[in-house]
Structure 1
Amino acid sequence: MRASARDILRSWSPADESQDPLRLTYLSYLDAVPEAVQRECAAGHITASALVCDLEERSVLLTLHPRIGRWVQLGGHCEAGDQSLTGAALREAQEESGIDALLIDPVPLQLHTHPLTCSGGVPTHHLDVQFLVRATPGSTAHISDESLDLDWFRFDELPHGVDDSVQQLVAAARVRLSS
């Protein structure tokens, strides 16, 4: 999994040049910390998330996260069975949305680092690699036990109080989808 993360980040050329220093930081972290993709790495760990889009409705699927109490994209920790970051992001999106028929773009959309407290109450940082995922027409989402709520929001009508990081992720997705 660590090798996959390195390969993805080495080959990725961010559309937004301001993402490149963060990409290089992630690569340095992966080189320096053998357990960088493991949830148990208290200093911080690589995570994978997915912005699920319904292109027909021009909307995104967001989850009301129980721990932080805000609407965010789907995603989470890499697990032992994950073979790649792309696979981890897709697995998380399927688990958290209840939608099996999702199509993932294997090229990262953007990176985002954020502090939080994981299970066990230990403060850490998520070094999140964010992917664009497309829902197939007619997909119906089902709330999982990892969410307080799950809902579709139009690209230009995100919920009140959504973080700037989610707004930036949606903006990046719109740029990619228009090209």
Structure 2
Amino acid sequence: MSAESLHESATELLETWSPAQGPEQSLREAMLAFLGSAPRGCLREHAAGHITASAIVFSHDEREVLLTLHPRVGRWIQLGGHCEESDHSVAAAAFREATEESGIDGLVLEPGLYGAQAHPITCSLGLPTRHLDLLFKITAPEGAVPVRSSESTDLRWWPVAGLPADSDVLLR
């Protein structure tokens, strides 16, 4: 596994993704341009900005979404984080992060890209940067009970129709 395989997977995901015209189409083009100029842009070491992997974790019946109260961000957000060189793809990084942060076994990753977002943030590097977030849809098994990890202040299911007011979680 390498930065090269992460880069290839991110590029392929974005090239095959067909978002609606408008902001998501523009973001897709900007992310592809970024990847074209940043061979190691999927790793946090790329201080100017980097691709991150997020999971929109739905309950088995898709009525709820699992969100984490992120200690650094101070808001309820989707699960996810940085890609690691040991991840064979960005989707694998999202699945790893979802499993680690939810404590749920038996998650199911839907193929393909669910969406994309960009966030200004001061992440673990301690410097202002931008997370170019690739989103994946993951479904939890029936009866899944999340277990909060050390990376979260709180963790809980939210009704799809009742997400927190300050949430920018992307739902389709």
Q: Shorter-chain TM-score category?
A: over 0.9
Distance across 2 between alignment mates of 1:120 and 1:3: 24
Shift of 1:57: 6.4
Structure-to-structure mapping, 1:28-107, within 5 angstroms? 28-56=33-61, 58-107=63-112
CA contact (8 A) 1:57 1:154 kept: no
> Where does residue 17 of structure 1 map in the other structure?
21
> Where does residue 6 of structure 1 map in the other structure?
11
Pairwise CA RMSD of aligned residues?
1.2
Distance across 1 between alignment mates of 2:60 and 2:160: 10
Q: Aligned letter for 2:21?
A: E
1:113-149 Cα offsets, whole Å, 9 max, x none, are 0100011421100000011110011211100000000
Q: Aligned letter for 1:17?
A: Q
Report percent identity of matched pairs.
49
> Where does residue 176 of structure 1 map in the other structure?
none
> Where does residue 3 of structure 2 map in the other structure?
none
> Where does residue 162 of structure 1 map in the other structure?
166
Q: TM-score when scaled to structure 2?
A: 0.92
Greater helix fraction, Structure 1 or Structure 2: 1
Q: TM-score when scaled to structure 1?
A: 0.89
1:52-106 Cα offsets, whole Å, 9 max, x none, are 0014361000000000110000001000111111111111000000012111112
1:25-75 Cα offsets, whole Å, 9 max, x none, are 111111101110010111000001001001436100000000011000000
Which aligned runs of 4 or more in structure 1 are off by greater than 3 angstroms? none
Distance across 1 between alignment mates of 2:125 and 2:11: 28
Q: Count the aligned residue pairs.
A: 166
Q: Aligned letter for 2:111?
A: P
Runs of 5+ in structure 1 lacking a partner? 173-179
Match of 2:140 among 116, 126, 135: 135
